[in-house]
Structure 1
Amino acid sequence: MPLTKKELDALSRLFRLSAREVELIALILDGVSTNAELAQRTGLSVATVKVYVHQLLSKIGAPDKLAGAIVCLKNVGRL
C-alpha cells in the first residue's frame, strides 16, 4: 500500500527516520519483502540493508517488517 510523500514525511518526523529508512519502509509498504529485493531496488548490499532495516524497526518499535508496516499504516491513519 503506497504512501504519499506527505505521509512518508510525517513518519520520518514522528520516528526520526533517515532518508534511507524512509525509502526502505516505502518499498516494504509497496510489497517488497526480502532484504535481497530491497538491496536490488536500492543498490545497497544485503548486509547494509539488514543494518538499515534493523535500525528502522528499532525506531518504530516493531519486531519484523510486517509489524513495522502495520505500525506505519496506523500512524498515518490508514488502518
Structure 2
Amino acid sequence: MRELHFQTNITCASQLHKAMCGLACLQGQYCRLSVDLHTERHDLTIRSGTLQAADVLNALKGTGIRCAVLHEKELDD
C-alpha cells in the first residue's frame, strides 16, 4: 500500500466536486482519498495499492484542477 501526496488548487466545494468527477475513472483503485483545505498547499492524499502518481495527474487533466506531486510514501500493510 502506498500514499500519494499532491499539492492542488482545490479551495472550495465546487473545485472539490470537479476533482472528484475527474478521479471517478479511478473508482475502486484507491481505498482512501482526502483533501486538506486548511493547508496552504491544499493537500490531496490518496491511499492505494496500485495507483501511480501519473494515474492521478492524468485523471485530473482537463478538470481545471492543478496538481503537483509532493511525495509518495510506502506503507506497511
**TM-score between both structures, scaled by the size of structure 1:** 0.34
Q: Which has the higher strand share?
A: 2
- Structure number with the bigger relative contact order (C-alpha 8 A, sep ≥ 6) is 2
Normalising by structure 2, we get a TM-score of 0.35
**In proportion to residue count, which structure has more helix?**
1
